Amino acid sequence: MAPSNRIVLDPAVVHGRPVIRGTRLPVTVVVGSLAGGMSFEEVQREYDVTADDIRAALKFVADLAEQESFHPLPAV
């Protein structure tokens, strides 16, 4: 996963969770807000972040998902 200059992991900020640089806003809050139906514009206004910050959060999560291994569960 290529590092983003907009997403940081710092043990001193929000217990090391990935956040938008310069904020204490976890990536999970941004992605969860979008998943919950908020628009980019609403997230920008609510959390005072840029559209590029939001895209970086989405890319960060997409890169994590891409690295995951998925194993089918046995049929019941």
Of 36-40, 53-57, 63-67, the poorest mean pLDDT is in 63-67
pTM, entire model = 0.84
Tell whether 76 is covered by a domain: no
Tell whether 14 is covered by a domain: yes
Domain extent, residue 25, equals 7-65
Residue of 1 and 71 predicted with greater confidence:
71
> Structurally, how many domains does the chain consist of?
1
Residue 11 clears pLDDT 50, i.e. is over it: yes
Alpha helices, DSSP H only, in the chain?
Answer: 27-35, 40-47, 51-67
Task: Note the pLDDT of residue 2.
Answer: 46
Residue 22 clears pLDDT 50, i.e. is over it: yes
Q: What is the CATH number of the domain that holds 54?
A: 1.10.10.10
